[in-house]
């Protein structure tokens, strides 16, 4: 278990425009604490952009460059190169949603990862286009109700960590604001490395997932403890380390906590459980295949 102490500095101010109980807002707070004050953010359209606020107002105590959906990684690559040319030590970090990462920004992100551009990219995954009314993204899981999949999404969730790991980038990891020490340790680890570093952070959405505004972290814990969203990291696309051993609660407990899965039949839930079990077995196999190496 990680023992990373939580940095005291608050770089994300209260009074921003997130919904009450938003897990993205909490995750952004932890990520900014981990990144520290010598950070420049690149933010595409998303709930995070709404929270950052329109000029001249900002909820963030570091510079923010709000960019187009498609250009997040390209803008970050350019900024990182410019700071390096000027001899300035600045962490460039992208804070994007799943629509901006899995869908619209993927081309620029893949290109930047192939070139091993020097930035940290954090995807806050609330599993749909939530700030425009809960339309499905390619991060929406199979079976989930959204406003554009009224019978449940008929296709699978895109596995973005595997896609990024396949680029053989130095660091890719999953995280969750319900496990802040684990999240902070991963940001710290990413900061010690160079090149393209990627974090995939699962963040329950109050209106989109149909949960109470005090339920985000409970639902997030169920995602992790049911092994539906395991916490792990991948070095150089090859070395997998599971960073939290989940209890293995039935996935039904996670699904039944959310209105977006209310229509699922017992058979559909059984299929999801089977899928989760297979995914966990695959991950354990990968973690055993190559021994974890001490991080520099």
Q: What angle do CA 179, 194, 162 make, to 5 degrees?
A: 55
CB atoms within 10 A of CB 47: 24
Hunting for tokens 């974090």 — which residue is that? 199
Cα–Cα distance for residue pair 112/289, rounded to 1 Å? 28
Is 18 near ligand SF4 (CB under 6 A)?
Answer: yes
- Judge residue 265's burial from the number of C-beta atoms within 10 Å of its C-beta, 0-12 exposed, 13-18 middle, 19 or more buried: exposed
Q: How far is the CB of 49 from ligand SF4 (least distance, A)?
A: 10
Figure out which of the listed residues 11, 12, 24, 225 binds ligand SF4, where binding follows CB under 6 A. 24
Cα–Cα distance for residue pair 53/181, rounded to 1 Å? 27
Q: How far is the CB of 97 from ligand SF4 (least distance, A)?
A: 8
3-state secondary structure of 83: helix
Residue 37 near residue 11 (C-beta atoms within 8 A): yes
Q: How far is the CB of 199 from ligand SF4 (least distance, A)?
A: 17
Q: How far is the CB of 215 from ligand SF4 (least distance, A)?
A: 11
Closer to ligand SF4 by Cβ: residue 19 or 219: 19
Interacting span for ligand SF4 (CB under 6 A) from 55-63, 189-197, 206-214, 263-271:
206-214
The number of residues in the chain equals 296
Is 205 near ligand SF4 (CB under 6 A)?
Answer: yes
Cα–Cα distance for residue pair 40/31, rounded to 1 Å? 13
Q: What angle do CA 230, 130, 102 make, to 5 degrees?
A: 55
Q: How far is the CB of 203 from ligand SF4 (least distance, A)?
A: 6
Cα–Cα distance for residue pair 197/93, rounded to 1 Å? 9
Interacting span for ligand SF4 (CB under 6 A) from 8-16, 100-108, 200-208, 281-289:
200-208
Figure out which of the listed residues 59, 67, 130, 140 binds ligand SF4, where binding follows CB under 6 A. 130
Closer to ligand SF4 by Cβ: residue 82 or 212: 212
Is 19 near ligand SF4 (CB under 6 A)?
Answer: yes
Q: How far is the CB of 19 from ligand SF4 (least distance, A)?
A: 3
Q: How far is the CB of 58 from ligand SF4 (least distance, A)?
A: 16
Is 47 near ligand SF4 (CB under 6 A)?
Answer: yes
CB neighbour list of residue 28: distance below 8 Å, 6 or more residues apart:
12, 48, 51, 95, 124
Is 243 near ligand SF4 (CB under 6 A)?
Answer: no
Interacting span for ligand SF4 (CB under 6 A) from 126-134, 175-183, 228-236, 274-282:
126-134
Hunting for tokens 């700030």 — which residue is that? 131
Is 31 near ligand SF4 (CB under 6 A)?
Answer: no
Furthest CA-CA distance within the chain: 59
Is 207 near ligand SF4 (CB under 6 A)?
Answer: yes
Backbone angles phi and psi of 108, in degrees to 5: -65, -35
Q: State which of positions 136-195 bind ligand SF4 (CB under 6 A).
A: none
Q: How far is the CB of 24 from ligand SF4 (least distance, A)?
A: 4
Q: Which residues would be at the binding site for ligand SF4 (CB under 6 A)?
A: 18-19, 22, 24, 47, 126, 130-131, 205-208
């Amino acid at each position: 278990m990680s023992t990373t102490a939580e940095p005291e500095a608050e770089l994300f101010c209260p009074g921003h425009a997130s919904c009450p109980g938003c897990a993205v807002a909490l995750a952004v707070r932890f990520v900014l604490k981990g990144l520290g004050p010598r950070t420049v953010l690149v933010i595409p359209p998303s709930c995070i952009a709404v929270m950052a606020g329109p000029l001249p107002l900002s909820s963030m105590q570091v510079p923010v460059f709000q960019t187009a959906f498609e250009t997040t990684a390209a803008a970050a690559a350019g900024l990182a190169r410019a700071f390096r040319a000027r001899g300035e030590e600045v962490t460039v970090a992208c804070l994007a949603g799943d629509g901006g990462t899995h869908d619209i920004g993927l081309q620029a992100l893949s290109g930047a990862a192939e070139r091993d551009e020097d930035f940290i990219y954090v995807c806050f995954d609330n599993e749909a286009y939530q700030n425009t009314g809960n339309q499905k993204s390619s991060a929406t899981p199979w079976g989930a109700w959204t406003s554009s999949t009224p019978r449940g999404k008929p296709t699978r969730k895109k596995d973005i960590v595997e896609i990024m790991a396949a680029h053989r980038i130095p660091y890719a990891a999953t995280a969750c604001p319900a496990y802040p020490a684990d999240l902070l340790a991963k940001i710290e680890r990413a900061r010690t490395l160079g090149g393209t570093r990627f974090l995939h952070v699962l963040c329950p959405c109050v209106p989109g997932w149909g949960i109470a505004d005090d339920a985000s972290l409970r639902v997030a814990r169920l995602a992790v403890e049911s092994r539906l969203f395991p916490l792990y990291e991948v070095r150089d696309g090859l070395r997998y380390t599971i960073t939290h051993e989940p209890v293995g609660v039935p996935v039904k407990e996670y699904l039944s906590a959310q209105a977006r899965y209310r229509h699922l039949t017992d058979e559909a839930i059984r299929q999801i459980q089977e899928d989760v079990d297979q995914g966990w077995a695959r991950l354990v196999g990968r973690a055993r295949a190559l021994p974890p190496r001490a991080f520099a």
